[in-house]
Amino acid sequence: MSLRMTRQREVVASLLESVEGFHSAQELYEMLLSDGERIGLATVYRTLQLFSEHELVDVMRNADGESVYRSCQAAGRHHHHLLCRKCSKTIEIDGPTVEQWALQVGARHGFTDIEHTIELYGICSNCRATAGANTG
């Protein structure tokens, strides 16, 4: 690829691999700052967009409609996510079932080129155990 590898892009890529779960551009930006890195917010946005275009990161929208990113181990591989509403723990989901379902539903209605957005939200077992104890 013709991507010029700069310090900024390296640290963004590096950060993405060192953190768990999904994070917004703003969050990543702040992490970088407190990490002592010199980088602009716009650059973080541009880098994240670039990475996602090249399928180097996994992108999804959180409940607020904001874009959140994560290093994509399963790059290029289609999958979805199950995320805890309390602790934000995220689990990657492989759903041949839904994939099939989506295609079938689409086909049944005469649609082609089916794509889909699927996100699952719930309370993980850990948070369930401490339910009500961490409201904040």
| Site residues for a second copy per CB under 8 A | 61, 63, 65-67, 82, 84-85, 91, 93, 95, 97-98, 101-102, 105-106, 109-125, 128
Q: Which two tokens stand for residue 53?
A: 């275009």
CB of 20 to a second copy, least distance (A): 16
Q: Residue 41: which of DNA, a second copy, none does it interact with, CB under 5 to 8 A by kind? A: DNA
**Binding at 102: pick from a second copy, DNA, none (beta carbon under 5-8 Å per type):** a second copy
| 5 near DNA (CB under 7 A) | yes
Residue found by looking up tokens 């089916």 in the block: 114
Residues 65-124 that bind DNA (CB under 7 A): 66-67
Listed residue (21, 35, 70, 72) closest to 7, CA to CA: 35
Of 67 and 102, the one with the shorter C-beta distance to DNA is: 67
**Encoding tokens for residue 123?**
């309370």
Q: Is 53 in the site for DNA (CB under 7 A)?
A: no
Q: 112 — alpha (psi -120 to 50), left (phi > 0) or beta?
A: beta
Q: How far apart are CA 73 and CA 2, in angstroms?
A: 22
Asked if 79 and 92 count as a contact pair (C-beta separation under 8 A), the reply is yes
Q: Is 6 in the site for DNA (CB under 7 A)?
A: yes
